[in-house]
Amino acid sequence: MSKIIAIFNQAGGVAKSTLAMNLGYHLQDFGQKVALVDIDPQASLTLFCGLEPFDLKQTIYESLLLDRPLPIHSLESMKCDLIPSNINLSGAEIELVSADLRDFRLRDTLESIQERYDFILIDCPPSLGILSYISLVAATHILVPIATQYKAWMGTELLLRTVKRVQARANKQLKLAGFVPILYAKSNSQDVRALQAITEYLGQVGHIFAPIPRATAFADSVEEHLPLALYQSRHPAVKPLKAIADYCLKNL
Ligand code: ADP
């Protein structure tokens, strides 16, 4: 059975798509078969991976709402597969409200490809809406990127309540893989304090990964549609990203 990791935080701009892309790359580099699933209507992951969202005729939307087969794109440089999204998915939030068995739509859709992959990474939208909910229902694990900024960890209270709700009802197997402190500038004293607070408060709830530094190389690498390790293999952020993949491989 594949491990299905939902990369989830209701905050936007906390590097969910960036983390999905880079974690996917490192997992495949460790010999794993990986599929990335974009379930964010903003389609950043789809764009980062080099597909033009507006040009796509088939996305996760058609599979979720119209029962079409999942559109699987092979990413040559990344050696992973991608199931893309586009803006059509924003309508799904409303359409899913009245859909049969809506909570299980993504879980059932992914069942058809589970045999093919060791890891399926779901890039969730920045909300606690239905698309995030069905992602948590489909997932075996949840990974939470969290910015090392003033009280950013406070939003996790609501996030963890949502996770508990899913665990109590639709997905008892769901486990927390951990928190990834992100956008960390060690020269900034506020970031250092925030990292301490994240470690203190959230360390009691789950594993805290080594922080991913703030670096413009991330934006540059996605412009080239490459994970950081293929763009600048010696960049200091490569090591903590690779360590997350290693942890997932050994512990999930
Ligand atoms: P989300 O999916 O949570 O909305 P993204 O992955 O799209 O976030 O990232 C938002 C922006 O931040 C992008 O422009 C991305 O290139 C940039 N970014 C991601 N990680 C980092 C980082 N560690 N340092 C600096 N910029 C980053």
Nearest CA to ligand 1 atom 6: 15
Quick one: how many helices (H) and strands (E) in the chain? Answer: 11, 8
pLDDT of residue 226: 98
Q: What is the DSSP string of 19-41?
A: HHHHHHHHHHHTT--EEEEE--T
What CA–CA distance (Å, rounded) separates 46 from 185? 27
What CA–CA distance (Å, rounded) separates 140 from 96? 22
Task: State whether the beta carbon of 63 lies less than 6 angstroms from ligand 1.
Answer: no
Confidence of residue 119 (pLDDT cuts 50, 70, 90): very high
First CA to last CA distance, the chain = 12
pLDDT of residue 154: 83
pLDDT of residue 93: 85
* Per-residue pLDDT reduced to its tens digit, 81-104: 999 999 999 998 889 988 888 999
Is the pLDDT confidence value at 110 over 90?
A: yes
Mutate to test the pocket of ligand 1, among 218, 224, 231 (most ligand atoms within 8 A of CB): 218
The minimum-distance atom of ligand 1 relative to the CA of 20 is: 6
Q: How far is the CA of 82 from the centre of ligand 1 (A)?
A: 19
The minimum-distance atom of ligand 1 relative to the CA of 216 is: 25
Task: State whether the beta carbon of 12 lies less than 6 angstroms from ligand 1.
Answer: yes
What CA–CA distance (Å, rounded) separates 16 from 45? 9
pLDDT of residue 98: 84
Nearest CA to ligand 1 atom 17: 219
Class of domain 3-251: alpha beta
Q: How far is the CA of 108 from the centre of ligand 1 (A)?
A: 30
Q: How far is the CA of 101 from the centre of ligand 1 (A)?
A: 34
Please state, rounded to an integer, the average pLDDT across all residues of the chain.
96
Beta strand pairing call for 80-83 and 212-213: unpaired
Strands ordered across the beta sheet of 212-213 = 73-75, 80-83, 34-38, 119-123, 3-7, 141-147, 175-184, 212-213
Mean pLDDT of 177-191: 97
Mutate to test the pocket of ligand 1, among 8, 10, 16, 18 (most ligand atoms within 8 A of CB): 18
Q: How far is the CA of 148 from the centre of ligand 1 (A)?
A: 13
Q: Is 11 within 8 Å of 155 (Cβ atoms)?
A: yes
* Per-residue pLDDT reduced to its tens digit, 19-76: 999 999 999 999 999 999 999 999 999 999 999 999 999 999 999 999 999 999 999 9
What CA–CA distance (Å, rounded) separates 32 from 30? 6
pLDDT of residue 152: 85
Q: What is the ipTM of this complex?
A: 0.99
* Per-residue pLDDT reduced to its tens digit, 136-165: 999 999 999 999 998 888 889 999 999 999
Phi/psi at 28 (5° precision) = -70, -30
* Per-residue pLDDT reduced to its tens digit, 201-252: 999 999 999 999 999 999 999 999 999 999 999 999 999 999 999 999 999 9
